[in-house]
Amino acid sequence: KNMAYEEIAEVLGISVGTVKSRIARARESLRDVIGKDFK
């Protein structure tokens, strides 16, 4: 489901900044797992 950062923050009860940082960390972790050359 596509949700805006603001919607995610509201559902989870956290700030938009926290949502953005958690998503950035998750993307970095995925890159590490699947490989940096995967596109």
DSSP result, 3-21: --HHHHHHHHTS-HHHHHH
In this predicted structure, the answer to whether residue 1 has a pLDDT above a threshold of 90 is: no
9 pLDDT higher than 70: yes
pLDDT confidence of residue 15:
98
Give me 6's structure tokens: 């603001």
Q: Are 12 and 2 in contact (CB under 8 A)?
A: no
pLDDT tens digits for range 10-35: 999 999 999 999 999 999 999 888 88
pTM (predicted TM-score): 0.76
